[in-house]
Amino acid sequence: MSKLGGFLGAVIGFAISILLTEVIFANNQEWPIVVNAALTVAGALGGASLARRMAARRGAPESAH
């Protein structure tokens, strides 16, 4: 469950970073690459954490993988 949450969080984080760097703050500099990577990692960590918290609240056992 946490792997799925991490994957979905990474996809959402990447989509938000693209929206921010290409649409809202559009420019031709190299710093958006760092923003994309940072928001993707933050989304993955946040999604995995949220999935673990939701599984613990339900009382579902976390998989060993």
* Residue corresponding to tokens 């996809």: 11
pLDDT at 63 over 80: no
Domains of the chain: which residue ranges?
2-58
Q: What pTM was estimated for this model as a whole?
A: 0.74
Question: CA-CA distance, 13 to 55, in Å (whole number)?
Answer: 21
Give per-residue pLDDT as tens, 28-51. 777 778 888 899 999 999 999 988
Q: Residue 56 to residues 36, 43, 49, 62: CA-CA distances in angstroms?
A: 30, 20, 11, 8
